[in-house]
Amino acid sequence: MERFKTERISGDVVTSERTEPAETRPIWLDKGGRTVKVIDQRKLPHEWIIADLETVDDAIDAIKSMFVRGAPLIGVTGAWGVYLAVRNTSSQQALIDECSRLKLARPTAVNLVWAVDKVLVDVLSARDADGRLQAARRGAEDLAEEEAENCRLIGVHGLPLIEKLAACKGGQAVNILTHCNAGWLACVAYGTATAPMYAAHEQNIPIHVWVDETRPLNQGARLTAWELGEAGIPHTVITDNAGGHLMQERMVDLVLVGTDRTTCTGDVANKIGTYLKALAARDNGVPFYVALPSSTFDWSTKRGKDIPIEERDPDEVRYVQGWEDGAMHTVLVPPEASPAANYAFDVTPARLVTGFITERGICGASEADIRQLFPEKRA
Amino acid sequence: MERFKTERISGDVVTSERTEPAETRPIWLDKGGRTVKVIDQRKLPHEWIIADLETVDDAIDAIKSMFVRGAPLIGVTGAWGVYLAVRNTSSQQALIDECSRLKLARPTAVNLVWAVDKVLVDVLSARDADGRLQAARRGAEDLAEEEAENCRLIGVHGLPLIEKLAACKGGQAVNILTHCNAGWLACVAYGTATAPMYAAHEQNIPIHVWVDETRPLNQGARLTAWELGEAGIPHTVITDNAGGHLMQERMVDLVLVGTDRTTCTGDVANKIGTYLKALAARDNGVPFYVALPSSTFDWSTKRGKDIPIEERDPDEVRYVQGWEDGAMHTVLVPPEASPAANYAFDVTPARLVTGFITERGICGASEADIRQLFPEKRA
């Protein structure tokens, strides 16, 4: 990534030196407190572009257009969106209206509504006008830190699973299959599905990760492969079609994925294609775990089929972005005249899930097990 | 194979006039009898390139590099390869050696060995040197015609399945999901999985086809979508990840695929990812049919796990070809340093297959049912 550019979402591209926080995170407030900075994940790993968010519309666009993505990061971006709303609005009603728009940016990840409400309702409702900006900033910062810590704890609680598998492998690498990107780029730090991988790698437990490329936007091939490569974790990119064969051939010891929303009964909405891997895991006796912070549980939805599944622009399927001759290109694959459909998520029913790895520990995929771990959560 | 006549389908550059047989087929002998012509399927639908095969090495390269692909067409190309071998060799031993090399061009499709042996052994062994060239030509032509007729009959026998589903749809389209390309480009005419679709379309039965793009080489998005579009059959390109969700949502009435090799017990080797769709079909009660001519049955292999699964160049996964600004481009998706793996096929166990559609009719996915339809076949 020698190509460092900064651009404003709604402005012209300005070339400048690489801007990065001290510790690499996908979102942060710049020193002046005026601009929220995000890594533009659409261009990774080939281009490193930092986008400036200065308004609620910038935040909505960053979420909708997937500059930022991943349930925890969508939530944190929503929290920073509330901060931007406070900066740019004068009345309480205007703030509420801006937050309502923000919550609609994408429908599936429950973290967005949760995070916006957490700052708007829990943090700001008791504040008078004077302290609100500072409080909103503190609210977003706290929420980001909390999610980072939750992910660290997911690593702590997921590590023993990998240790146990490693104990049966006689020194050979534990093969973990993951789908899409549930790494630090999708969260704030550590990632959800990747946190136990990092924890195992730090303990010198040999692991190897099968990275589903994850069509249509290739978050696995582009983001997960890049994160794992930067961390020195052995990995191999595969097509989304390959996981079933690998499981049949006993080349996968564990499937570990994130989720965009999980019902309190254990049905898991995640990137489209997750359900197919869960079916293959079940058919081959491979454990299938979902890693998530509690912010991704939907405490009021009982049935996975009630989770709204986003349908995105079919051109995300028809066109593929990649790197050629020192520049990004966007190429058309099917015939110009052929239509496409682009459902972004599917729902893996709880019956196919071995367990959840959360910041409080591991639990089974049933409402009783989940609520036992989070007894304070009400529907 | 540098002797291409080129017409760019999507572009305005025409380097020569389009060469085509009277009836479009993916392979034919030119009028002079010297050159076997094939459509270069790697560039479709964006470029129309005809490649000339003049030697066995040309035929091997066309099969290996996937100018031609699809089990029946690989077989027919093998048969024409024998013709080219006869043209270019003088001794019987040299001919046998050339045919042995030809049979190794790709490992999974059983049609290759079957077709080469059919011309070499059944047709040529009783011939003296004088009549061999003419006999080999006749052998390849007959085999191609036989496969075309088999595919036509697959359409005849598959049509009632679609008719039955249509009867329950109250005038709405029957939604058929297919994986990869099992159309006329993969065969000689009609296709295998597509033959019943063409038959239904001709009968004015409304159908709509979900076309899996089929990574890594996108034969679904590039070839099946193009074939269906040319035939005026409504279709929608989807990612390979999407089929499970569509089946959960009752948006698929029938899964219909081809196969590269099916054991006499009913285990189905087909393009990687087929197994995942079969699992989803079973989980959602969607009928899963495999269409094949008898040349694709492996009468001597009992277990799917004994079918050799080809591993191809990982760069087929890492790079994507497509059309931009009037030219083909090849773009890199994952980080340059990330390795990839490229298993080309998987095996769907017979227990997940509802039935086989063959040139003799439909049968269940068991050795008894298959052998009842083909009693003359010996292991």
Q: How far is A247 from chain B (nearest CA, A)?
A: 11
Mean pLDDT on A121-141? 92
Distance CA A332, CA B326 (A): 11
Q: With H, G, I as helix, E, B as strand and everything else as coil, classify residue B369.
A: helix
pLDDT higher than 90, residue B377: yes
Q: Can you give the pLDDT at residue A24?
A: 81
CATH top class, domain A6-146: mainly alpha
Q: Can you give the pLDDT at residue B322?
A: 98
Q: Can you give the pLDDT at residue B21?
A: 47
Q: Can you give the pLDDT at residue A333?
A: 98
Q: How far is B330 from chain A (nearest CA, A)?
A: 7
Q: What percent of chain B is modeled with pLDDT above 70?
A: 94
Mean pLDDT on A222-228? 98
Q: Can you give the pLDDT at residue B23?
A: 60
Structure-block tokens of residue A298: 């939907």
Contact across the interface for A335 and B45, Cβ inside 8 Å: yes
For CATH 3.40.50.10470, the residue range(s) in chain B are: 157-377
Distance CA A162, CA B96 (A): 53
Fold designation for A157-377: Rossmann fold (3.40.50)
Interface test with A, best of B239, B284, B319 (most A CBs within 10 A): B239
Residue with tokens 């071998």: B85
Query: How sure is the predictor about A129, in pLDDT bands with cuts at 50, 70 and 90?
Result: confident
Distance CA B112, CA A373 (A): 58
pLDDT higher than 50, residue B5: no
Give start and end residues of each alpha helix (H) in chain A.
56-64, 71-88, 92-103, 111-117, 132-167, 194-202, 219, 225-230, 243-248, 274-284, 315-318, 367-373
pLDDT higher than 70, residue A195: yes
Which one-letter amino acid corresponds to residue B213? Answer: E
Mean pLDDT on B3-31? 56
Mean pLDDT on A92-113? 95
Contacting residues for A340 by C-beta, under 8 A, at least 6 apart: A314, A315, A317, A318, A334, B236, B237, B238
Mean pLDDT on A1-15? 45
Q: Can you give the pLDDT at residue A225?
A: 98
Mean pLDDT on A349-373? 98
CB of B276 less than 8 A from some CB of A: yes
Residue of B nearest to A42 (CA): B333
pLDDT higher than 70, residue B182: yes
A-B Cβ pairs (cutoff 8 Å, strict): 227
Whether A61 is catalytic is: no
**Window B:319-378, CB contacts with A under 8 Å:** 319-324, 329-335, 337-343, 345-347
| ipTM confidence score | 0.94
Give start and end residues of each alpha helix (H) in B180-314.
195-202, 219, 225-230, 243-248, 274-284
For B93-142, what is each residue's pLDDT tens digit? 999 999 999 999 999 989 999 999 999 999 998 888 889 999 999 999 99
Are A83 and A133 in contact, with CB atoms under 8 Å apart? yes
For A209-222, what is each residue's pLDDT tens digit? 999 999 999 999 99
Interface test with A, best of B8, B276, B282, B330 (most A CBs within 10 A): B276
Residue of A nearest to B224 (CA): A334
For CATH 1.20.120.420, the residue range(s) in chain B are: 6-146
Instruction: Record the pTM.
Output: 0.94
Query: How sure is the predictor about A6, in pLDDT bands with cuts at 50, 70 and 90?
Result: low
Pairing of strands A4-8, A48-53: parallel
